[in-house]
Amino acid sequence: MDLLTIRAGGFSATVDGCARGDNELWFLSMLGHQQAVRAIWARLVKGEAAFLSSTELAGEPTPLAREAWGTWRFTGMRLPSGSAYQGMLIPELAAYATDRLDFLLLVREQDDAAQLHFRFLARRLDLPLHPSWAEWLWRRGLENGEVEQLESVGVQAHRCRPQPEALRADISDGVRRRELVVETTGLADVELKAA
């Protein structure tokens, strides 16, 4: 993995994880001296752009995503070596329990994406969703643009904007065509097996 450098206000840090879309930052994890990491964080949340590049000198100005403005959370900690500090900027819409319909999905392993997407959808929508539909819901979101993969480093990031009415229609159609089924073990089945 090629690490990026982020610079702002004369400070620089190494980026070990980030997600970008439309030349805006949706997630940022950086390592460096504590003063540098906190200075970059402060400039970004004030609305300034930082310069993100694969070298120490060049780079494009990259601000925090406007859609998530005012909802950013910063967490930081000193690493065990004591000489480095890690800071992460995460928008509230990446939190599972937020009340927004849209969300940011951050996954380490691609295999986890469909299940995590299902959990976030089930939390936000008043639609009957079954866990066995997770892969179908994920494919559907990617195909119709409700799930957009962001350019990312160190993590896989997806911007998700569910459309409840379109999803309701697609689920109804999927159930009707038997693409989506719910296998249940009813009480009658259990009683028959016991007899």
Q: Where are the domains of the chain?
A: 4-93, 95-176
Give 73-141 as a 3 state SS string.
Answer: EEEEEECCCCCCEEEEEEEHHHCCCCCCCCEEEEECCHHHHHHHHHHHHHHHCCCCCCHHHHHHHHHHH
State the pLDDT at residue 185: 56
Is 56 in contact with 71 (CB distance < 8 Å)?
no
Which tokens hold the place of 45? 């949340």
pLDDT in tens, the chain (195 residues): 567 899 999 999 999 999 999 889 999 999 999 999 999 999 999 999 999 987 656 678 899 999 888 889 999 999 887 779 999 999 999 999 988 999 999 998 777 899 999 999 999 999 989 999 999 999 999 999 999 999 999 999 999 999 999 999 999 999 999 988 877 655 444 444 443
How many C-beta neighbours within 10 Å does residue 102 have?
Answer: 15
User: Nearest to residue 140, comparing CAs of 120, 167, 179?
Assistant: 167
Amino acid sitting at position 14: T
